[in-house]
């Protein structure tokens, strides 16, 4: 808009400087051309929409890959989050399609990318998951060991053998959770 104002001012100044009819006509024609030259159309709306959708697809692919490689998520959590990415991508593309101008397309794209990015939520750290699993194993082992000790139907030798079995199983499970 400032370019139009500047071109208009310059054209008027050139008209004022003209000393005859031909000079005025030339200054006016040059001024009209300069003013008209200030409007340069941007990328077509349909092309902007296609570009926005391509960027949404790229964002979705990036987030989906991050979800797939997230060791803190279970397979079910990964599937749920990947579906969330797909749904967010579809919604964002629909919003891009509904947009009628550059500002609307840009907003739909930015909002869509934010929504896509928000679909990936890491789970509990693997080390924390291991610690929790080990604590649950220890609790279960203590409960079963106590039940064995209080079982009046078992001999002392049977109790010792079963308690050792619980200890061995717990140790083996602990080793597997470390890997």
Task: Read off the pLDDT of residues 80-113 as tens digits, 9 standing for 90 and up.
Answer: 999 999 999 999 999 999 999 999 999 999 999 9
For residue 138, the model assigns a pLDDT of 85
As a whole-number percent, the residues of the chain with pLDDT over 70 amount to: 96
pLDDT of residue 179: 53
Q: Using one digit for the tens of pLDDT, what is the confidence trace for 15-39?
A: 999 999 998 999 999 988 888 888 7
Helix (H, G, I), strand (E, B) or coil at 83: helix
36-87 pLDDT, tens digit each: 888 777 789 999 999 999 999 999 999 999 999 999 999 999 999 999 999 9
For residues 145 and 89, give the distance between their C-alpha atoms in angstroms, rounded to a whole number.
53
Q: Which residues of 31-62 are buried (b: 16+ CB within 10 A; e: fewer)?
A: beebbeeeeeeeeeeeebbeebbebbeebbee
């Amino acid at each position: 808009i400032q370019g139009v104002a500047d071109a208009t001012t310059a054209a008027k100044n050139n008209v004022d400087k003209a000393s005859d009819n031909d000079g005025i006509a030339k200054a006016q024609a040059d001024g009209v051309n300069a003013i008209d030259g200030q409007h340069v159309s941007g990328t077509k709306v349909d092309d902007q929409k296609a570009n926005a959708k391509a960027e949404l697809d790229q964002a979705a692919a990036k987030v989906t890959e991050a979800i797939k490689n997230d060791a803190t998520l279970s397979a079910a959590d990964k599937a749920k989050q990947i579906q969330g990415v797909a749904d967010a991508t579809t919604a964002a593309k629909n919003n891009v399609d509904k947009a009628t101008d550059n500002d609307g397309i840009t907003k739909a794209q930015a909002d869509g990318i934010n929504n896509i990015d928000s679909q990936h939520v890491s789970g509990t750290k693997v080390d924390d998951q291991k610690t929790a699993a080990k604590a649950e194993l220890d609790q279960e082992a203590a409960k079963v060991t106590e039940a064995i000790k209080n079982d009046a139907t078992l001999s002392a030798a049977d109790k010792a053998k079963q308690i050792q079995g619980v200890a061995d199983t717990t140790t083996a499970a602990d080793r597997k959770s470390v890997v």
